[in-house]
Amino acid sequence: MLIRRKPIAILYVLVLTVAAYALGWWVFQRYPISPLQWLPILCFSVFLIGVDFFEVKTSAGGDWLASSTVDIAVIATLGPAAAMLMEGASLLVGDGLIKRRSPLKVIFNIAMMTFSVGVAGIVFHSLPWSSVDSLSSPLFLIPALVAHMVFSGVNMTLTSTVLVLNEGRTWNQVWRGDYAWHFLSGLLTAPLSAFLIFSYEYAGLWSLLLFGLPLFIIWQSHKLFEEMKEAHINTVAALTTALEADEPYTHGHSYRVAKYAVQIGQRMGMGPEELEELEYAGLLHDIGKIAITNDIVCKPARLTKDEFDILASHPAIGGEIVSQMKFLKGAADLVRHHHERPDGLGYPDGLRDDEVKLGSRILNCCDAIDAMTSNRPYRAALSLEQCMEELRRFKGSQFAEDVVDAIESMYADGSFKVIAQADGTALEIQRILHDAATREAELPVGLPVG
């Protein structure tokens, strides 16, 4: 998470740091650390630093991390003060010395995590069945589950505040787009905390090594799952890049539309599944053009009415194609309606306003943005400033107001940039196709090919 150096963000970090220090002072008085706990705190801190490196970047743009599993276990076995000290020490070493993150981000992370752990620890020890003497009863899971909920809720509230202050998004947009899935995944790690507590209480510190094995397996499974989803996306991206090879002015168009769409969808609070569906739809939004001849698709001059009617059939054709792919069925409607307009003058179904799904409304804007900021045979690429003027000019008629408003807020805070090129894979595919076409063009006339 980026913390821009805005005065309000710096003030927020300072206030949070003071609050975390005050809470820590009270917790250390209420739950003092005994001399016998220093070695376990050190071992758990090292273990937590190791866990921090079992990090997976998800397709939704977030991180999967099981640090809360260790936090709740330390809260239960060593107390809230020990958990706060462990979090602070591990972040200071991991974020500050190993990852070399900015001082402001390190301070924020330490304050945010220690405050979250402290509140979760107080709640945990205020509940019945929180003593390790209750380990033999399944009721012990209740305080562990509640503590996970409190920890996740406080953590995400504190982090979301930075995003709201910096980016102008609403709380609902930040929560749904960035952190809702974190909250659910955090709850699923509550039983892991219980297993760690069991192993530590009955076997001691060496059990941390044993517990690392299932944690590694979970991490590896999650990593493979994310890699599989990324492979699906890359396969679709490669397909669309190959289909665009004959269109000299739209190489990488679908890739860029997909990337624009995901950025805007995140700003508008779309959840991970919606963003994944939107990305696929962005990559495949022009797949229907495969059924239309290149003399129409690539025509440099204005189309006749008959030619336009033929070209206007591509969203419906694309929607039908995408609907045949089981794992992409949700994207079919977005593809079909990406040329619909708020005023009802779009195609193929003439839908109006909220009759068009948010994903299709986003794609409509992204399609136009990439067209305006790309070179075309009849004009040079527009600047981003000129593109924004066009979006404002046709807001409410050609482009959905809520989407344009989101783009304007991103443009205002500097987070919306023109994507100049496709990714490395797409560019390499374009090079291969270009080289193959060049070799074929250089063959002597009459020489058989293949």
Check: pTM over 0.75? Answer yes or no: no
Retrieve residue 60's tokens: 């939704």
SS3 content of the chain, % helix, strand, coil (to 5): 70, 0, 25
- What is the C-alpha R_g of the chain? 27
Question: Under the phi-then-psi rule, with left for phi > 0, alpha for psi from -120 to 50, and beta for the rest, what region is 353?
Answer: left
Helices (H), 286-423: 294-297, 305-311, 314-323, 329-336, 358-372, 384-393, 401-412
Could you tell me where in the chain the CATH 1.10.1760.20 domains are found?
Answer: 7-205
Could you tell me where in the chain the CATH 1.10.3210.10 domains are found?
Answer: 248-439
SS3 118: helix
Query: Quick check: bond before 348 cis, omega within 30?
Result: yes
What b/e readout covers 154-177, taking b as 16+ CB neighbours within 10 angstroms?
bbbebbbbbbebbbbbeeebbbbb
| Count of H-run helices and E-run strands, the chain | 20, 2
Contact 114, 84 (CB under 8 A): yes
Residues in CB range of 232: below 8 A, 6 or more apart: 327
Q: Measured at the alpha carbon of residue 38, what is the angle toward residues 33 and 39, in degrees to the nearest 5?
A: 150
HEC profile for 145-191?
Answer: HHHHHHHHHHHHHHHHHHHHHHHCCCHHHHHHHHHHHHHHHHHHCHH
In the DSSP assignment, the letter for residue 93 is I
User: pLDDT value at position 450?
Assistant: 44
Question: Was domain 7-205 assigned CATH 1.10.1760.20?
Answer: yes
User: Looking at 90-94, 100-104, 187-191, 363-367, which range is the least confident one?
Assistant: 187-191
What's the pLDDT tens digit per position in 130-185?
887 777 788 888 888 889 889 988 988 888 887 777 666 666 666 665 555 555 55
Angle between helix 103-126 and helix 7-30 axes, rounded to 10 deg: 40
User: pLDDT value at position 108?
Assistant: 92
User: pLDDT value at position 447?
Assistant: 46
Whole-angstrom distance between the N-terminal and C-terminal Cα of the chain? 53
Retrieve residue 41's tokens: 């705190």
User: pLDDT value at position 406?
Assistant: 92
Residue 241 to residue 254: CA distance in whole angstroms: 8
CATH class of 248-439: mainly alpha
Helices (H), 31-102: 38-52, 67-77, 80-91
What's the pLDDT tens digit per position in 340-382?
999 999 999 999 988 999 999 999 999 999 989 987 766 778 8
Mean pLDDT of all residues belonging to the chain: 82
